[in-house]
């Protein structure tokens, strides 16, 4: 398989060199060729067939109205609802659930003529940093199938990295688009909270979740973002503010821009190979005309504990609807209480149970003020520190993940796993846009290490509503480098 960009596929479609149906069939074959990664849960063949026919009509009858995504195949994460397609959120408790409606982000892609070909594996209810928590089994990293792809959107990142589809949709609650993008060597964009409708997203933490694209390039991510962003009256958290399209300013460059490097993000805990790759990326940004300066985000050290109060609290509330009565798994018992207990006991995995218990405890009488209310106050401090930082810098740059992809099963301690998101979750707490782009392989100065040669991600963070600017900075870096063009050494992926 040869990875192709959305733009390249669009040119081929408009020249008549291929058809939407042919591209969908090729994507299915490519996904089957990397089935050993366990990145795909189910194919959407009947939907893909109907959508390919719709795209072909759009290209033939209204070519001037057919957008850049028309006829292009894609995959999406198993937490996004599409009418008539089973959606399980990577959990046993939702087995057999077939949504009666399509979420807004997916509907906008369908209306743009894009062709969904597969549903991708993910951590159960999007809770995880390694894609080892799925009830459908773990996902392998295309660069080394024995290592994790990151989570929770690991399947969406893996299929793009393997070159099977040009883009996919994922969700990001604490880094679940950007962290797997970093570990798999692709581009992953989390828009400003409220920019993309959450209608049709199976919620994990409603004040943190955001839908976004994973792709080979920033250019492709921008095309997808422009297609799905915008106000939606069906989502009460959707921002009514006008969306600035990313396309017009994407190639404006970064000469004269001020970029901040948080000292707290470059502290102990970074793998040497990650530090070396990211510092080299900082040098490239300076060469492109940006000025870099150290800044401080003092509450960063409190962000992890803050997140793991707020996110579990919201998850415990959202997942209370998973009761085995109205949809999904049902374990019949003589009493309603026993039915609840057995259904939830058998349906939820260990990580989901852990977070539900954490959240329920934080919200319980006698602990609410000590934990949840205090965490919300710290969240406000974190957001205010970002606001102050953006008074002096245009954007913030940092590593995306403190490590490269690690071997499956190597982080059984929950805290060591939670630390994987320490550089990404502050962005969610503050509701900011952030992107991860490949910035080279990890190479340990002075000698080889076990993670050398694996992808490293550069993170760009912007102020609320600064999505177009974040994409502009990331594109400028990609236009000057070739790290995003590297392919993993799986058979057929070059």
- Provide the annotated active-site residues: 77, 152, 176
Q: Could you tell me which of 61, 76, 69 has the C-alpha nearest to residue 111?
A: 69
| Distance separating alpha carbons of residues 19 and 23, to the nearest angstrom | 6
Structure tokens at 237: 């958290």
How many whole angstroms from its chain centre is CA 420? Answer: 14
Residue with tokens 């049709």: 200
In order of 251, 278, 451, the CA distances from 291 in angstroms are 18, 16, 31
| Distance separating alpha carbons of residues 486 and 161, to the nearest angstrom | 9
How many whole angstroms from its chain centre is CA 491? Answer: 25
Residue with tokens 């459908």: 136
User: In 202-284, at which residue ranges do the beta strands (DSSP E only) sit?
Assistant: 211-215, 258-262
| Distance separating alpha carbons of residues 386 and 394, to the nearest angstrom | 11
In order of 168, 170, 207, 209, 345, the CA distances from 315 in angstroms are 24, 18, 10, 11, 16
Beta bridge partners of 73: 115
Strand order in the sheet with 258-262: 40-43, 115-120, 73-77, 167-171, 211-215, 187-190, 434-441, 455-461, 395-399, 258-262, 291-295
| Distance separating alpha carbons of residues 33 and 493, to the nearest angstrom | 10
| Distance separating alpha carbons of residues 340 and 331, to the nearest angstrom | 8
User: Is the distance from CB of 131 to CB of 150 less than 8 angstroms?
Assistant: yes
Q: Could you tell me which of 213, 186, 228, 176 has the C-alpha nearest to residue 76?
A: 213
Q: Could you tell me which of 106, 183, 74, 173 has the C-alpha nearest to residue 139?
A: 183
| Distance separating alpha carbons of residues 358 and 328, to the nearest angstrom | 24
DSSP 297-342: -TTHHHHHHHHHHHHHHHHHHHGGG-SSSSSS-----SSHHHHHHH
Q: Could you tell me which of 464, 485, 467 has the C-alpha nearest to residue 228?
A: 467
Rg, C-alpha atoms of the chain: 21
| Distance separating alpha carbons of residues 89 and 94, to the nearest angstrom | 7
């Amino acid at each position: 398989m040869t990875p192709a960009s959305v733009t390249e596929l669009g040119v081929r479609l408009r020249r008549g060199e291929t058809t939407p149906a042919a591209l969908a069939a090729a994507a299915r074959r490519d996904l089957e060729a990397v089935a050993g990664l366990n990145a795909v849960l189910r194919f959407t063949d009947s939907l893909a067939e109907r959508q390919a026919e719709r795209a072909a009509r759009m290209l033939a009858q209204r070519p001037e109205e057919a957008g850049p995504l028309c006829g292009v195949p894609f995959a999406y994460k198993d937490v996004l609802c599409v009418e008539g397609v089973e959606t399980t959120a990577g959990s046993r408790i939702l087995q057999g659930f077939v949504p009666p409606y399509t979420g807004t982000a997916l509907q906008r892609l369908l209306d743009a003529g894009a062709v969904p070909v597969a549903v991708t594996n993910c951590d159960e209810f999007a809770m995880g940093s390694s894609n080892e928590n799925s009830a459908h089994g773990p996902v392998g990293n295309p660069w080394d199938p024995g290592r994790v792809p990151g989570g929770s959107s690991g399947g969406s990142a893996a299929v793009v990295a393997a070159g099977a589809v040009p883009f996919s949709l994922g969700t990001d609650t604490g880094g679940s688009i950007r962290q797997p993008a970093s570990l798999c060597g692709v581009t992953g964009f989390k828009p400003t909270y409220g920019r993309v409708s959450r209608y049709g997203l199976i919620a994990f933490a409603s004040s943190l979740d955001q839908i976004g694209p994973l792709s080979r390039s920033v250019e492709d991510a921008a095309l997808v973002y422009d297609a799905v962003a915008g106000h939606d009256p069906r989502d009460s958290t959707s921002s009514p503010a006008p969306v600035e399209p990313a396309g017009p300013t994407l190639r404006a460059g970064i000469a004269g821009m001020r970029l901040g490097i948080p000292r707290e993000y470059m502290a102990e805990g970074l793998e040497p190979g990650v530090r070396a790759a990211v510092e080299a990326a900082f040098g490239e940004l300076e060469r492109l005309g940006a000025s870099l300066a150290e800044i401080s985000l003092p509450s960063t050290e409190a962000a992890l504990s803050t997140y793991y109060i707020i996110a579990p609290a919201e998850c415990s509330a959202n997942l209370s609807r998973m009761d085995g009565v109205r949809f999904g798994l049902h374990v019949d018992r003589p009493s309603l209480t026993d039915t609840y207990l057995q259904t939830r006991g058998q349906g939820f995995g260990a990580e989901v149970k852990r977070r539900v218990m954490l959240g329920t405890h934080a919200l319980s009488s006698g602990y609410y003020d000590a934990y949840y209310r205090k965490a919300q106050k710290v969240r406000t401090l974190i957001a205010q520190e970002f606001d102050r930082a953006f008074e002096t810098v245009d954007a913030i740059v940092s590593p995306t993940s403190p490590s490269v992809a690690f071997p499956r099963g190597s982080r059984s301690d929950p805290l060591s796993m939670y630390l994987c998101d320490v550089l990404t979750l502050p962005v969610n707490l503050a509701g900011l846009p952030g992107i991860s782009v490949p910035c080279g392989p990890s190479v340990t100065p002075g000698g080889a290490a076990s993670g050398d040669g694996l992808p490293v991600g550069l993170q760009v963070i912007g102020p609320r509503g600064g999505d177009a600017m974040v994409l502009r900075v990331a594109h400028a870096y990609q236009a000057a480098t070739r790290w995003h063009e590297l392919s993993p050494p799986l058979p057929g992926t070059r």
